[in-house]
Amino acid sequence: MRYPTLVEKRYNDEFKEQIVKLHEMGKKIYDLSSEYAINAVIIYKWIKETKPVIGGGISKKEYEKMQKELRQLRMKNEILKKLPPYSQENNKTNSKIHRKI
């Protein structure tokens, strides 16, 4: 026997930002929840995601994105360090990097 599952609604980033801005303009979360048929807990979560990290001026979401990018760059850097300095692969990579600069 299968139990009915809850269908998770997906909201795009633009919609989330709109709801957060409406709240920042003074609209109560209860009113937003009723008007747009969104659980108030979800709205609180969106507001929390957009709040700046303490002393940083960037949101938690932006911070996590930057952390992910930093990990990727460090991994690429480690790979490049392991290549011999004048190998064919390294020359291709270096030429791509210099073209971007």
Which letter does DSSP use for residue 83 in this model? S
Please check whether residue 3 lies inside any domain of the structure.
no
Query: What confidence score (pLDDT) does residue 91 get?
Result: 60
Quote the domain boundaries for residue 24. 10-50
51 or 99, which is more confident: 51
Do 38 and 22 belong to one domain?
yes
The confidence band for 3, taking pLDDT boundaries of 50, 70 and 90, is: low
Q: How many distinct structural domains can be found in the chain?
A: 2
Do 63 and 101 belong to one domain?
yes
Please check whether residue 23 lies inside any domain of the structure.
yes
Q: Note whether 33 and 40 are within 8 A (CB).
A: yes
Please check whether residue 17 lies inside any domain of the structure.
yes
Which letter does DSSP use for residue 58 in this model? S
Q: pTM of this prediction?
A: 0.52
Q: Note whether 84 and 58 are within 8 A (CB).
A: no
Name the E strands within the chain. none
Q: Model confidence over 24-56: pLDDT tens digits?
A: 999 999 999 999 999 999 999 998 888 776 666
The confidence band for 62, taking pLDDT boundaries of 50, 70 and 90, is: confident
